[in-house]
Amino acid sequence: MEQNRKNSILIVDDEKANILELMQILSPMYAVYVSRNGRDAIEAVREAPVDIIMLNILMPDMGAYAVIEALKSSGETSGIPVIFITGLSGDNEEKKGLRLGAADYIPKPFTPAIVKLRVQNQMKIVNNFRIIAEREADVKCCRAKNETLSRITGGMRAPICDVIKTAQSARTASDPEKRKEYLRELELSSNSLSGLIENVLEICATENDVFAL
């Protein structure tokens, strides 16, 4: 994961008081964004994904359940954890949200310590998944680079043999014209070999940190 990268949260709520309170609790630790309705929130995360969405259950226009269904049905947004914000009592709403894919619930009125801990728990999961994904990408990249180097170094064998054989022939040739022909062949083989070596050095220079894995 990038060093000094600040995790991001999108708060989706039509109540200004809730937004201000959550921002006061979370903005010192995270990059916090706000959307005042569900439709805007869906569009926002499709354009610029965030790490976590905090979604108020009771909202006009597009309710939280419709929002989470839309998020989970899209490959672009299905992996973003959604934490429901609710002032409702009873477990029916909580069960429904969890069935639809909500990661957690935060009750109102807010307790700052609880809000921080619940968000931190979800962020740990998000960051762990990101680290795993980055390591897998590095391994794939390393494998691809190794395969490329293997093909290039394998391709070096023929020009190396040509250089050796042509040099031997040029050394023993008594006919000046034949010797010139051997030297021309030697130059061509040397240039080909030099190009292959440059390719290897370029790959090693640009991906040196990958080969260190």
Residue pLDDT, tens place only, 198-212: 777 776 666 554 444
- The pTM score is 0.65
User: Is the domain of 82 the same as that of 168?
Assistant: no
Output the domain CATH number for residue 203: 1.10.287
Provide the domain count of the chain.
Answer: 2
Residue 119 domain-assigned? no
pLDDT digits (tens, 9 = 90+) for 84-116: 998 776 677 778 888 888 999 898 899 999 999
User: Is the domain of 14 the same as that of 70?
Assistant: yes
Residue 121 domain-assigned? no
Closest CA to 85 of 103, 62, 108: 108
**Which tokens go with 21?**
């309170």
Residue 125 domain-assigned? no
Distances, alpha carbon 179 to alpha carbons 158, 160, 183, in Å: 21, 19, 6
Indicate the burial class of 38 (C-beta count within 10 angstroms; 0-12, 13-18, 19 or more).
buried
User: Is the domain of 87 the same as that of 32?
Assistant: yes
Q: Are strands 8-12 and 52-56 parallel, antiparallel or unpaired?
A: parallel
User: Is the domain of 17 the same as that of 99?
Assistant: yes
Where do we find the tokens 């419709």? 66
Residue 131 domain-assigned? no
Most confident of 64-78, 148-162, 163-177: 64-78
User: Is the domain of 27 the same as that of 85?
Assistant: yes
- Given a cut of 70, whether residue 3 has pLDDT beyond it is no
Output the domain CATH number for residue 62: 3.40.50.2300
Residue 26 domain-assigned? yes
Residues 192, 162: Cα–Cα separation, whole Å: 10
* pLDDT for residue 188: 79
Where do we find the tokens 């240039």? 191
User: Is the domain of 96 the same as that of 177?
Assistant: no
What is residue 29's DSSP assignment?
T
- Given a cut of 90, whether residue 122 has pLDDT beyond it is yes
User: Is the domain of 14 the same as that of 100?
Assistant: yes
User: Is the domain of 104 the same as that of 23?
Assistant: yes
In this structure, how many other beta carbons lie within 10 angstroms of the beta carbon of residue 85? 23
Closest CA to 83 of 45, 57, 58: 57
Helix (H) or strand (E) holding 67: helix 64-72
User: Is the domain of 155 the same as that of 199?
Assistant: yes
User: Is the domain of 106 the same as that of 160?
Assistant: no
What's the domain range around 203? 136-211
User: Is the domain of 12 the same as that of 105?
Assistant: yes
Residue 126 domain-assigned? no
* pLDDT for residue 170: 78
